[in-house]
Amino acid sequence: MGAAWRGVRDLFRRAGIDTAELDARIFAEVAFGMDRLTLVNRERDLAAPDHLKALEKLAQRRLRGEPVARIIGERGFWGLAFRLNDATLVPRPETEMLVQRGLEIVGPLDHPKILDLGTGSGCIPIALLTEFSDLSAIAVDLSSEALDMARFNASRHSVIERFETRQGSWFDPVKPDERFDLIVSNPPYIESAAIETLMVEVRDHDPRLALDGGPDGLRPYRAIARDAAAHLTPDGVLLLEIGTGQGKDVTGILAASGFNRIEVGHDLGGHERMVVARIEPAS
C-alpha cells in the first residue's frame, strides 16, 4: 500500500503540487477504504488491483487540476467535515476567522439568532451552532442544491433542529419583522473580469455563482447593506468576509447605509479579510 501512495506522491511532486504527500495519502485512504492508521499499519501489504485502479482515477483528476476537496466531495472546516456538491464553494480556512469573531459576538447572548446569507455548504452557521446549544440559525442561498447540502451538513453535525434554510436572494426570503443578533455572509466578491485569472482549482471547479461579485466585485455588499439594518437587533452586528483591498469600498457602502461603527479585520497573511459593522444610536 505504501508503494502505491508513494508512487502517486512522486507523480504529484513532479507535477508541482505542493501538497503532494498529503493529497496522495488522502486518496489512498479513500481508494482503499481505510483510515489513516490502518494505512500506516498495512504499509507493506500489496494493494488490491481494484483499489489501485480507484487510486489512479483519483490521481488523474488531481493531475487535471481538480482540487482534493472536490474529488472526495468533502472539506474540513472548524474541525468538522463538510460535504460539498457542485453548488457549494469549498470552505476556506480564512473564513474560520468569521466564525471566531461570530463566537465572540453571540457568546455572551441568551438564545441568540443568526442569519447567514449565501450559506453554500452551511459551514459558517453550522460551525457556530456546534459551539452554542441555545443558538439558532437561518441560512439563505439562491441555490436549492446548496441548501440541500447545508441541511445534510447540519444533520451530520447534529444541529439540524436549530438550523432553518430558505431559498432566495439575500434578504428576499426574510420576513420584514425578523431580526437577528448577528447577520453574517461570505458573499461572492471577485470582480467578474478577474475570474479568468484565478487558479485553475477555483476558476474551473468552484461554482461561478459563489465567486462572481459583479463588475466591481461589490454588488453583493450593496445588496446586503441596503437591508441589513432593518433586520438587526438594536445591538446586532453585521459580519462580512471581504477580498483583499475591498475594506475601504465596503466600509463606504456600509457607512452610506447608516452603519457608524465599522472595523476592518485582517487575516494571518495580513490581508483585509472581514468587516464588522454596527449601528450605535446617537447619544
Contacts with ligand GLN, residue ranges (CB under 6 A): 89, 91, 95, 118-121, 123-124, 186-188, 210
Which residue in 249, 169, 164, 152 sits closest to 209, CA to CA?
169
> Are the CB atoms for 17 and 60 separated by under 8 Å?
no
- How many CB atoms within 10 Å of residue 197? 9
Q: Which is nearer to ligand GLN, 112 or 207 (CB)?
A: 207
Question: What distance in Å separates the CA atoms of residue 104 and residue 252, rounded to the nearest whole number?
Answer: 25
Q: CA-based diameter of the chain, in Å?
A: 74
Distance in Å, CB of 17 to ligand GLN, minimum: 23
Q: Which is nearer to ligand GLN, 20 or 120 (CB)?
A: 120
Q: Which is nearer to ligand GLN, 59 or 139 (CB)?
A: 139
Q: Which is nearer to ligand GLN, 51 or 92 (CB)?
A: 92
Coil, strand, or helix at residue 205?
Answer: coil
Distance in Å, CB of 206 to ligand GLN, minimum: 8
Distance in Å, CB of 241 to ligand GLN, minimum: 7
Q: Which is nearer to ligand GLN, 121 or 251 (CB)?
A: 121
Q: Which is nearer to ligand GLN, 165 or 186 (CB)?
A: 186
Distance in Å, CB of 30 to ligand GLN, minimum: 22
Question: What distance in Å separates the CA atoms of residue 30 and residue 52, rounded to the nearest whole number?
Answer: 11
Question: What distance in Å separates the CA atoms of residue 64 and residue 14, rounded to the nearest whole number?
Answer: 13
Which residue in 96, 158, 151, 86 sits closest to 119, CA to CA?
151
Distance in Å, CB of 186 to ligand GLN, minimum: 4
Question: What distance in Å separates the CA atoms of residue 278 and residue 269, rounded to the nearest whole number?
Answer: 25
Distance in Å, CB of 208 to ligand GLN, minimum: 10
Question: What distance in Å separates the CA atoms of residue 258 and residue 254, rounded to the nearest whole number?
Answer: 7
